[in-house]
Amino acid sequence: MKQILFLILFMFLTETACFAETKPQFTTDLNKLLAYEVQIFDCVVSKDENNNQKRVDGLLLIDAAPTEVWEVIKDWKSVAELIPDVEYYTTIAALKPIQKGTIGQSFIECKISIPLFDFLFTLDVEFDESRFRQEWQLIKPEDAKIYNLIGIPVKDTTDTIRNMEGFMVAEPFENGKKTIYHFSLTIEFSTVLPEFVESYMIEKLLTDHLKGVKKQVESHGLYAPSRFLKLPF
């Protein structure tokens, strides 16, 4: 029985992830980019009583080489500390090491708390160090059951989230002296949520993420998020 389960797991892990590298449906404002302004682009993929799917992309110029940005963004646990509304990102299974020449893979559990709502989900994340790129997709309930059978503790996803996938990449700029950091997320909710929840969940969290990564990279790891500077009284 165990051999069968491990064979099934192996088949899951060796499948090629289907992340669509489609041409961006937005135009970057070069002036804003050079001014180090966050640029957020969002679009509704579908929205009715049965479907509520959005895509959001964020861009920000960072004064550091892609290798430096990569060292920060590949550490999800530390990135979580940069975003006020993220309770944690924790690796529950490191399946393949992150290193050049191969594709690393980890299952990462994420918990986000925003006003009135909590979201819990687990992502299957692939790390392509040679391209400074990560891609991820939500672990679906039917797959989570199999992983739990073989000892990988994947928790149930919050029922308001139906699907999620995306990528983040550190793209070289000015001959590799700087980096255009691009984060893209497509998320499908199982119901129509209040507009402020969707905006908070997508735009505010993404803005905080981009700015937090930039500060952490440019400070060479010395940036201390405000939540760690609060006095105990």
Side-chain-facing half-sphere of 151: CA atoms under 13 Å: 4
The whole-number pLDDT of residue 192 equals 81
The whole-number pLDDT of residue 19 equals 43
> Are 17 and 165 within 8 A, CB to CB?
no
Q: Which phi and psi angles does 201 have, rounded to 5°?
A: -65, -35
| Backbone Cα Rg of the chain | 18
The first and second tokens of residue 173, run together, are 């700029």
Query: Cα(4)–Cα(22) distance, rounded to whole angstroms?
Result: 36
The whole-number pLDDT of residue 120 equals 98
> Are 139 and 124 within 8 A, CB to CB?
yes
Query: Cα(185)–Cα(201) distance, rounded to whole angstroms?
Result: 11
Tell me, what DSSP letter sits at residue 83?
A: S
CB atoms within 10 A of CB 37: 12
Per-residue pLDDT of the chain in tens (233 residues, 90 and over written 9): 444 343 344 344 444 343 444 555 789 999 999 999 999 999 888 776 667 899 999 999 999 999 999 999 999 999 999 999 999 999 999 999 999 899 999 999 999 999 888 999 999 999 999 999 999 999 999 999 999 999 999 999 999 999 999 999 999 999 999 999 999 999 999 888 888 888 887 789 999 999 999 999 999 988 878 665 554 54
Query: Cα(145)–Cα(154) distance, rounded to whole angstroms?
Result: 8
The whole-number pLDDT of residue 5 equals 41
The whole-number pLDDT of residue 168 equals 98
The first and second tokens of residue 122, run together, are 């687990």
CATH class name, domain 29-221: alpha beta
With a CB cutoff of 8 Å and minimum separation 6, the contacts of 13 are: 95, 96, 105
Q: Could you give the 3-state DSSP secondary structure of residue 112?
A: strand
The residues with which 164 forms a beta bridge, in sequence order, are: 187
The whole-number pLDDT of residue 226 equals 65
For the chain, which residues make up each domain, given as ranges?
29-221
Q: What pairing do the DSSP bridges indicate for beta strands 161-173 and 178-189?
A: antiparallel
